[in-house]
Amino acid sequence: MLKTFKDFSSLTFDDRFVRSLPADPDTGTQVRLVRNACYSFVRPTPVREPELFAWSSDLASSLGIQPPTTADRSLIAEVFGGHRLMAGMRPYAACYGGHQFGNWAGQLGDGRAITLGELIDPHGSAWEIQLKGAGPTPYSRRGDGRAVLRSSIREFLCSEAMHALGVPTTRALSLVTSRETIARDMFYDGRVAWEPCAIVTRVAPHFIRFGHFEILAARKEPELMRKLADYAIASSHPELDLKDPHVIAQWFHIICERTASMIAHWMRVGFVHGVMNTDNMSVLGLTIDYGPYGWLDIYDPQWTPNTTDAGQRRYRFAQQPSVALWNLECLAHALRSIAPDPELLEAGLDRYREAFQESYSESMAAKLGLKVLAGPQDQQLLQTLEQALCATEMDMTLFYRGLIQVSAEPGPLEAEAELDQIWGAAFYQEQRSEAATAALLGFLCSYRQRLTSDPLTLQERAERMRTANPKYVLRNYLSQLAIDAAHQGDASVCERLLAVMRQPYDEQPEAKDLAVRRPEWARHKAGCSALSCSS
């Protein structure tokens, strides 16, 4: 189909969500519990002197939006800065609940996100357009409804970086900055600072979370739950028949499969979400709500970037697959009141386990440049790899990228010198222990042996590995560089990162300074290794 690009002012917005589902009759902004409704109408609170700081031209182009002119830019800043609505927009904040760190938290809802409406793209598809940091809503609880610049830059860049990596995610269209400041206690130690706030415009087919259904189950509102499920199904899965008595279970199976695929991707690229509460899980299997997330620098399965979770480490890297299952169990439990056959929901959970194993095994095979991973010997190979990576304290991204080189040369890897030649820049420790070196050489020896029985050609293997092992990931310290520059009003670092992260699998020799291990200065710097939830 031919694409017709429109300028920003002539975009078409719809209000399908609010037309299809019941609203809270109260339209005030006071904090309250909202029953028998999926959302509350609320207008964004204009942010002071909004300015369009960053724009995702890649997403804009897929939505059919023309590159903005100067006039468009100021209109965008007004609309996405909360000053102005366009035809068709009926802004609202959604009501949902959730389990936070394993405990039922009751009603949460969009405390600082406000949906403007759905943008209809040139293919007729609807995209929910949501402002994050647009001011108080009835769900703001004790919060101010705003988001600081640092967390907004992290969400903006990471949404787009994840998309380019092939990881299912919500997207980010713009970042609007402001002269308004808000108080935040970044370290939770009483040192409150005034920080500039910003608004990210997020985009997804919709932002419906597991928690949307959990709150309706907790409130015993099954009719409304069914209505919301029908809306979610009809808008994203037209192939399902709403009249089929098993449609809810069929839909749950899809959610389980998509969640499995998303988590396998996280494990492939070394992403740690940091706050996998059920209110941060999308029923579309999209990565959603970028808060204290991070990327593994040193390969450490026990790592979490979230300081709030430092004790329990519930959301650590290695635990993400089982936490996703736990979250799906919460969703299944909520859906029981509208699904007549609980055993079908149970089967959905089994499908998650299977689908995760399939996706994970496929992505590990791709990372290693093997056609498939099968049998106990390959399991043993994976274990040897895990032990070697843990023992050597190596950079995960650099390790796999270096492995492409190893896979291209037949024969045993003999000397330690070869390790340094390929991975010298990937080790975090100056001195490698003998045991670590032995573990790594041991793995490489089995690996090269294994390659000899694999059917892929050298070229196929290199291509498979290159597209599974990114050269560029949005390491925390890189985002921090963009944040530091943004605080000086400089958008160039953010723009450069956005451009480089668009092609994360390409060599991009001019950007090789962004493909290095976390520098020493960033080891303990705030925002570069660990982050609090303060945002």
**Min CB(141)–ligand AMP separation in Å:** 6
User: Which CB atom, from 259 or from 363, has the smaller least distance to Mg ion?
Assistant: 259
DSSP summary character for residue 316: -
Strands 271-272, 97-100: pairing kind: unpaired
**Integer angstrom CA distances of residue 187 from 83, 190, 477:** 32, 8, 17
DSSP summary character for residue 46: P
**Min CB(364)–Mg ion separation in Å:** 30
Q: What is the CA radius of gyration of the chain?
A: 24
User: Which CB atom, from 152 or from 235, has the smaller least distance to ligand AMP?
Assistant: 152
State which H helix or E strand residue 226 sits in.
helix 222-236
**Min CB(321)–ligand AMP separation in Å:** 21
CA distance 273 to 277: 10
**Min CB(93)–ligand AMP separation in Å:** 8
Return the structure tokens found at 526. 């705030």
Contact predicate 23/41, CB 8 Å? yes
Q: Per CB under 6 A, which of residues 134..153 are in contact with ligand AMP?
A: 139-140, 143-146
Q: Per CB under 5 A, which of residues 246..305 are in contact with Mg ion?
A: 280, 289
Q: Per CB under 6 A, which of residues 96..135 are in contact with ligand AMP?
A: 108-112
Residue 274, binding choice from ligand AMP, Mg ion, none, Cβ under 5 to 8 Å by partner class: none
User: Which CB atom, from 259 or from 306, has the smaller least distance to ligand AMP?
Assistant: 306
195 in contact with Mg ion (CB under 5 A): no
Residue 140, binding choice from Mg ion, ligand AMP, none, Cβ under 5 to 8 Å by partner class: ligand AMP
Angle formed at CA 489 by CA 486 and CA 491, multiple of 5 degrees: 60
CA distance 205 to 126: 6
**Min CB(517)–ligand AMP separation in Å:** 29
Residue 111, binding choice from ligand AMP, Mg ion, none, Cβ under 5 to 8 Å by partner class: ligand AMP
Enumerate the active-site residues: 279
Query: How many chain residues interact with ligand AMP (CB under 6 A)?
Result: 16
CA distance 289 to 175: 15
**Integer angstrom CA distances of residue 245 from 265, 283, 336, 338, 344:** 33, 20, 13, 10, 11
Residue 533, binding choice from Mg ion, ligand AMP, none, Cβ under 5 to 8 Å by partner class: ligand AMP
**Min CB(282)–ligand AMP separation in Å:** 12
CA distance 254 to 332: 12
Q: Per CB under 6 A, which of residues 429..488 are in contact with ligand AMP?
A: none
Q: Per CB under 5 A, which of residues 412..471 are in contact with Mg ion?
A: none
Q: Nearest-CB residue to ligand AMP? A: 143
66 exposure class (CB count in 10 Å sphere: 0-12, 13-18, 19+): middle
Residue 276, binding choice from ligand AMP, Mg ion, none, Cβ under 5 to 8 Å by partner class: none
CA distance 187 to 170: 28
Which of 68, 97, 196, 291 contacts ligand AMP by CB under 6 A? 291
User: Which CB atom, from 113 or from 365, has the smaller least distance to ligand AMP?
Assistant: 113
Contact predicate 195/184, CB 8 Å? yes
Where do contacts with Mg ion occur on this chain (CB under 5 A)?
280, 289
Where do contacts with ligand AMP occur on this chain (CB under 6 A)?
108-112, 139-140, 143-146, 275, 280, 289, 291, 533
